[in-house]
């Protein structure tokens, strides 16, 4: 290209763009940082951890590299780590083997179950970290469903009765937020009522408002010991992957019933749903980066196909850009460390 043609090109581009060159701001690391619209912070993260019976070192979950099942003492250690990293909330999930599972998930109502013991231990040792407990029966049932099976079907109303009692047991153990992840109808209203009737007005509800029947829960089910257990699938209560308008109706109803915060799950395949909910409702809306999303990225990183840290930051930033008030993510300690 001659100098003269080059000057012509420059003139043509300036004429076409009106001199507005988008690359101007991208020239330097400092100017890119200056104009970045979305920033991830440790305060955006909720760290889900798995708790198991017994003592000893954290036990790795094979299908979730970097994720462990902790003893109760280990869970307290994780809470200290969360506090030091500025992670506001820990979500607790129990690993239950065959032994304590039954048809009605009765261990969920035991005030001394694993989750309650871990909650009490954390709240005693590290009270400044919030605790979120999942309200659902799947870690406790012999069939792996979130509710009560009656005459071969997941019985909505019988399930809600038990879920209300589970929420009270968890709140009495000291959990700050209950997270109904069961997708039964009417459960938010009845849980709110049950908490209030017990004098637990301060317990918050983060409802899994739009929870989809997804393939991306598979490694979580390994982690809690539900994989070999689940009979059938969860499509009669979790949402169909094709639906977004229905998510808006689910969310409207949960908010109406008294949810303080709502959630979309999984996250990445449903970011459009998240954005719609954020635009529609003035309420904190969270997203759950599920176990399958996590394991998928970790598997690629382990093979050297992805830069793990870069992928983690890009995806977590995408959640925030889509409008999430915060993200439940197994990357929480790693991301918070990277952000420190």
Active site residues: 211, 265
Exposure letters 71-87 (e unless 16+ CB within 10 A, then b): bbebbbbbbebbbebeb
Go through the chain and tell me how many residues it has. 340
CA distances 328 to 46, 176, 238, Å, are 4, 16, 19
Q: How many residues bind ligand PBG (CB under 6 A)?
A: 12
Minimal distance in Å, beta carbon 234 to ligand PBG?
A: 6
Is residue 134 at the binding interface for ligand PBG, with CB under 6 A as the rule? yes
Q: Measured from the CB of residue 102, what is the shortest distance to ligand PBG in angstroms?
A: 17
CA dihedral angle for residue 293, residue 296, residue 297, residue 299, rounded to 10 degrees = 150
Residues of span 233-262 touching ligand PBG by CB under 6 A: 234
Instruction: Choose which of 136, 154, 210, 277 interacts with ligand PBG (CB under 6 A).
Output: 136
| Strand 45-51, strand 326-328: pairing | parallel
Residue with tokens 């659902």: 136
Note whether 295 binds ligand PBG by CB under 6 A. no
Q: Which is nearer to ligand PBG, 84 or 165 (CB)?
A: 165
CB of 330 to ligand PBG, least distance (A): 7
Told to check if 107 binds ligand PBG by CB under 6 A, we report: no
Closest C-alpha to 231, from 134, 164, 130, 142: 142
Q: Which of 217, 237, 270, 286 binds ligand PBG (CB under 6 A)?
A: 217
DSSP 110-162: -TTSHHHHHHHHHHHH-TTSEEEEEE-STTTBSS--SSEEETTEEEHHHHHHH
Q: How far is the CB of 1 from ligand PBG (least distance, A)?
A: 54
| Residue with smallest beta-carbon separation from ligand PBG | 220
Dist. CA 165–CA 157, nearest whole Å: 13
User: Cα(24)–Cα(42) distance, rounded to whole angstroms?
Assistant: 30
Nearer residue to ligand PBG within complex by CB, 68 or 125:
68
Site for ligand PBG in 10-29 (CB under 6 A): none
Q: Does 291 bind ligand PBG (CB under 6 A)?
A: yes
Contact region for ligand PBG (CB under 6 A) — 26-34, 134-142, 268-276, 306-314?
Answer: 134-142
Alpha carbon 87 to chain centroid, angstroms: 14
- State the residues that interact with ligand PBG by CB under 6 A: 134, 136, 138, 146, 181, 217, 220-221, 234, 290-292
């Amino acid at each position: 290209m001659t100098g003269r043609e080059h000057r012509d090109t420059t003139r043509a581009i300036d004429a076409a763009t009106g001199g507005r060159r988008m690359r101007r701001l991208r020239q330097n690391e400092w100017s890119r940082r200056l104009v970045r619209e979305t920033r991830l912070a440790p305060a955006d993260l909720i760290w889900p951890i798995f708790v198991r019976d017994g003592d000893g070192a954290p036990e790795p979950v094979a299908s979730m590299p970097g994720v462990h099942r902790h003893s109760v003492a280990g869970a307290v250690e994780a809470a200290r780590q969360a506090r030091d990293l500025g992670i506001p909330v820990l979500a607790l999930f129990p690993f239950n083997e065959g032994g304590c599972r039954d048809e009605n998930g009765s261990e969920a109502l035991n005030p001394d179950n694993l989750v309650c013991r871990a909650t009490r231990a954390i709240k005693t040792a590290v009270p400044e970290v919030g605790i979120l407990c999942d309200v659902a029966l799947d870690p406790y049932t012999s069939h792996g469903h979130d509710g009560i099976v009656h005459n071969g079907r997941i019985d909505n109303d019988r399930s809600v009765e038990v879920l209300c009692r589970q929420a009270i047991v968890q709140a009495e153990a000291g959990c700050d937020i209950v997270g109904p992840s069961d997708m039964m109808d009417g459960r938010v209203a009845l849980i709110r009522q049950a908490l209030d009737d017990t004098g637990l007005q301060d317990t918050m509800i983060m409802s899994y408002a739009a929870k989809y029947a997804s393939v991306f829960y598979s490694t979580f089910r390994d982690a809690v010991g539900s994989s070999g257990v689940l009979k059938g699938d969860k499509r009669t209560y979790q949402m169909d992957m094709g639906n977004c308008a229905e998510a808006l109706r689910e969310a409207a109803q949960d908010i109406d019933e008294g949810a303080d915060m709502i959630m979309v799950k999984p996250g990445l395949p449903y970011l459009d749903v998240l954005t719609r909910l954020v635009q529609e409702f003035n309420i904190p809306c969270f997203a759950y980066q599920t176990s399958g999303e996590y394991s998928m990225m970790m598997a690629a990183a382990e093979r050297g196909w992805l830069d793990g840290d870069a992928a983690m930051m890009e995806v977590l930033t995408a959640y925030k850009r889509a409008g999430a008030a915060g993200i439940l993510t197994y990357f929480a300690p790693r991301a918070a460390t990277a952000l420190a």
